[in-house]
Amino acid sequence: MNKQIILLPGDGVGTEIMESAKLVLNAVASEFGHSFALHQHAIGGDAIDQYGTPLPNETIKACQQADAILLGAVGGPKWDSLPANLRPEKGLLGIRKSLGLFANLRPVKGFTSLLHASPLKESVIKGSDILIIRELTGGLYFGKPSERRENGNAVVDTLYYQRSEMERIIDKAFQSAQIRRKHLTSVDKANVLESSRMWREIVNEKSKDYPDVTVEHLLVDAAAMKLVTQPNQFDVMVTENLFGDILSDEASVLTGSLGMLPSASIRSDGVGLYEPVHGSAPDIAGLGIANPLGMILSVAMMLRHTFHLEEEATEIEQAVHETLRQGYYTPDLHIKGGKQVSTKEMTAIVVENMTTKS
């Protein structure tokens, strides 16, 4: 398999964990005989410093021709005083939008070795393994009008969706459930919102096309509660943009550290952008202690979702589990009786665990 992958390290710890991603990709390539062509480009503050804009045309062009994109993180105090449209974060929103990446996938798993690291009780998180699918390009974040009215004494935001936008994300969710535990929770606010009533209708229509998947509807307020009381009752959860933004952040407390969480933003033809959920972590940037596991698990997601390399993806995930089981952790985590290591050491151990299978 010969694939073009664009690397966008970005800022802060983004550049450090991108090195981890490269090592893992090289290990997969040599073990399985693939050839990954890796091309590095600038985004965010790094691009502002080099080109005066957070998203240079050259980067957009390269991404449009790529099979997949891996991103570190963008932003940092150095660029905080710039006007909103010139800030590093604009680069990220811009690339998602210009590539039409409408489905945001965030797997959240309670790692056995890290159950104690979550503020929630171990008995509550044990066994949880959730895939949250958030619609990324519609809803309240993009609807027009969105403006102040009546001399600033009133305000309007618009929740707008086309049927086709709901259908494609709901299809993606059913398909994801089919290759997991075949249970889909659709989250809405159908007791109040017309958009949610249409969403629910579509889920019910679509469920006829996926008879092997069990569907459950939950109101968003009930879903928020259940996520922290019975998280192990979920398999795939699908919801619109705003609800998904909130619920996916809430679910991240299950894993104990932001540094553990991968994500994917994809479209129907399989092209996707893969990145850890966390930001550029300016407080620890340059110290060589960032947790690379969210990034490494994002590489696994890329191999699975864009390249359909299930065996390779599983091998990476198992190596991450094994590394934690052996007690290795970066300072954002703590494993009792374990050993604290650097970003580079952690990466080397994961790579070693990939090739020396038990």
Q: What are the start-end ranges of the H helices in the chain?
A: 13-32, 45-51, 57-64, 88-98, 122-125, 163-178, 194-207, 220-229, 241-251, 293-305, 310-325, 343-355
Is 46 tagged catalytic?
A: no
Residue type, 169: I
Residue 278: other Cβ atoms inside 10 A:
24
Residue 256 makes contact with ligand NAI by CB under 6 A: no
Q: Are 305 and 356 in contact (CB under 8 A)?
A: no
Is 221 tagged catalytic?
A: yes
Binding string, residues 213-252; x marks residues near Mg ion by CB under 5 A: --------------------------------x---x---
Let me know the angle formed at the C-alpha of 277 by 274 and 279, rounded to the nearest 5 degrees. Answer: 110
Q: Are 216 and 186 in contact (CB under 8 A)?
A: yes
* Token representation of residue 307: 């390249």
Active-site option among 245, 274, 329, 332? 245
Q: Residue 45: exposed, middle, or buried by beta-carbon count in 10 A (0-12, 13-18, 19+)? A: buried
Q: Tell me the sheet residues that pair with 264.
A: 105, 274
Q: Which is nearer to Mg ion, 249 or 345 (CB)?
A: 249
Residue type, 102: F
Binding residue for ligand NAI (CB under 6 A) from 53, 60, 62, 89? 89
Region binding ligand NAI by CB under 6 A among candidate stretches 59-67, 99-107, 141-149, 289-297: 289-297
Q: Are 53 and 47 in contact (CB under 8 A)?
A: yes
235 carries a ligand binding annotation: no
Is 67 tagged catalytic?
A: no
* Torsions phi, psi for 53 (to 5 deg): -145, 145
Work out how close the CB of 244 gets to Mg ion at its nearest, in angstroms, rounded to a whole number: 9
Q: Which is nearer to Mg ion, 41 or 87 (CB)?
A: 87
Region binding ligand NAI by CB under 6 A among candidate stretches 111-119, 197-205, 246-254, 273-281: 273-281
Q: Which is nearer to ligand NAI, 66 or 284 (CB)?
A: 284
Binding residue for ligand NAI (CB under 6 A) from 132, 202, 284, 301? 284
Active-site option among 22, 90, 189, 206? 189
27 carries a ligand binding annotation: no
Enumerate binding residues for ligand NAI (CB under 6 A): 13, 73-76, 89, 92, 258-259, 275, 278-284, 290-291, 294, 330, 332
Enumerate binding residues for Mg ion (CB under 5 A): 245, 249
Q: Give catalytic residue positions.
A: 141, 189, 221, 245, 249
